[in-house]
Structures are given as C-alpha cells and as structure tokens.
C-alpha cells in the first residue's frame, strides 16, 4: 500500500495531530486505525496514547521523554507500515425502539426523504455501520454511513435536552446518545443499551467496530431496558435478537 499523505500538526506541547484528507470516509478511517495500532505496537517510551477521529489521529506524548523530532520519525515509520485492515470482528446487533414516543423527528425525516416512517426504519436498520470514532460523551460512537436518502443536515434549532439512549441522525452519521443532554440531531428512536460503564473507561463500542440496528417494540424495549440496568449484555452477533 502506498504511504498516505498527511500533515503533522502541533496540538499544544504534549500532543500532535496526524491529519489525513478533509472528508469522512471508511478508507481514511482504515488508515487512521491502522496507524493507531502500529503506534501502540511500537511501545516507544514517552508515547502515551493515540486517539482516532474521523480523518486524523491525535497522538499524546511526554515531551520530557520523547522529543517532537523523534516522535515525527516514529509516526513516519509507523505510516510506512500501514496496510489495508482485514476486519474479522463480528457485527454487533443493537436493539432500537422506533415508537413515536421515542422518535419526535421520524415523521419529518420520512416526509423530507419521500418515504414512509416504516421505510425510514427499514433503511436505518439495513446498513452495516462502521464506528469511526468515540467522542462528545463517554462511549458515544459515531457510526456511518447512513443510506443516502437519510442523510440530512442538523436541525436548525437544537433541542435543549434529549433522553439517554436517543438514536439520532445527522449528515451521514448516526449515534446513540449515552447521556441526557442537548442535541441538534434528528431523533428517530431509542436504544436500551448502555454504551459506557459509569466510573470506568469501559465502553461498549470501539473505533473499527461494525454495528447493525434491530427494531424492537415498546414492550420489548421496556424489558431490555430493565435487563440493561440489571447489568445484562444486550448485544449479539448478527443473526439473533437480544
């Protein structure tokens, strides 16, 4: 594989950003994730952590141990080892309830897309989503790519508060919001899964994971939500319903 072009940008005095391209696509994400793995395997003293984003990798380091010139060489060597990734991880199924009580924007999205609400749900559940990155809230996974007909700009007026577990879409991305909070995305459902183990660094999803959504009824949602609160695992490999 040809070594990808990149820019190395300073981010304060303890981090650099390795930036690739200017768009969101899975090819760039593959490069970012491959570089992150390569750097983790080098075990270079002073290299603390590499954090993937859509099209870049933020590398945290200790400048008293690892100088910027040395870090630049480490990054360059690791980039020369970037290879297409054969992802053998199983696909995770996440249950989502699309009941109207959980989906204030479903009808609007359907009208704008020229679809019925049921067709929106069907298309949202058809995709095999790629987890690009975690961010904004603990455990929040940015997943793409949405079917083209569901790709919508953000809401003109953000909501001051949406419920934890809300499933929302914007541009080409879908997310499950792990906590209650403000949101400018279109909310089309709710999931009972817990994306983050509170008080820990444990998250359900990681960059590079694959996800599909499974529709469940309001009654099934209530049952699954109780199971999640009790600590039960609600994700399965493709082919089963929790």
User: Residue 240 above 60 pLDDT?
Assistant: no
Q: What is the pLDDT of residue 229?
A: 83
User: Residue 46 above 70 pLDDT?
Assistant: yes
Q: Who contacts 13 (Cβ-Cβ below 8 Å, separation ≥6)? A: 63
Q: Which class does domain 91-236 fall in?
A: mainly beta
Q: What is the pLDDT of residue 38?
A: 93
- Confidence class for position 86, pLDDT limits 50, 70, 90: low
User: Residue 236 above 60 pLDDT?
Assistant: no
Q: Which of 191, 157, 161, 170 is nearest to 109 (CA)?
A: 170
Q: Which of 167, 177, 184, 180 is nearest to 124 (CA)?
A: 167
User: Residue 237 above 50 pLDDT?
Assistant: no
Lowest mean pLDDT among 20-24, 31-35, 71-75, 166-170: 20-24
User: Residue 85 above 70 pLDDT?
Assistant: no
C-alpha span between 146 and 92 (Å, rounded): 17
Structure-token pair, residue 100: 């109207």
CATH topology of domain 7-80: Gyrase A; domain 2 (3.30.1360)
Lowest mean pLDDT among 35-44, 61-70, 163-172, 196-205: 196-205
C-alpha span between 31 and 36 (Å, rounded): 9
* pLDDT tens by residue, 104-142: 999 999 999 999 999 999 999 999 999 999 998 889 999
Q: What is the pLDDT of residue 4?
A: 78
| Sequence ranges of the domains in the chain | 7-80, 91-236
**Phi/psi of residue 63, nearest 5 degrees:** -65, -15
């Amino acid at each position: 594989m040809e070594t990808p072009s990149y820019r190395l940008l300073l981010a304060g005095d303890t981090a650099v950003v390795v930036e690739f391209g200017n768009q969101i696509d899975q090819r760039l994400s593959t490069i970012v994730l491959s570089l992150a793995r390569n750097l983790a395997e080098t075990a270079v003293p002073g290299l603390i952590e590499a954090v993937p984003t859509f099209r870049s990798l933020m590398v945290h380091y200790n400048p008293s141990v690892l100088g910027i010139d040395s870090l630049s060489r480490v990054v360059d060597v690791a980039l020369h080892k970037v290879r297409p990734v054969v992802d053998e991880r199983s696909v995770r199924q996440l249950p989502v309830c699309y009941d109207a009580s959980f989906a204030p924007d479903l009808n609007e999205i359907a009208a704008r897309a020229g679809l019925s609400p049921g067709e929106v749900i069907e298309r949202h559940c058809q995709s095999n989503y790629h987890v690009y990155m975690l961010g904004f809230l603990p455990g929040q996974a940015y997943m793409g790519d949405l079917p083209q007909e569901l790709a919508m700009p953000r809401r003109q007026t953000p909501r001051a508060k949406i419920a934890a577990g809300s499933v929302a879409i914007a541009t080409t991305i879908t997310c499950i919001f792990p906590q209650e909070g403000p949101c400018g995305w279109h909310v089309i459902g709710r999931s009972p899964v817990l994306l983050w183990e509170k008080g820990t660094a444990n998250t359900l999803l990681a960059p590079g994971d694959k996800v599909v959504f499974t529709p469940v009824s309001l009654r099934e949602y209530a049952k699954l939500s109780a199971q999640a609160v009790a600590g039960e695992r609600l994700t399965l490999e493709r082919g089963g319903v929790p």
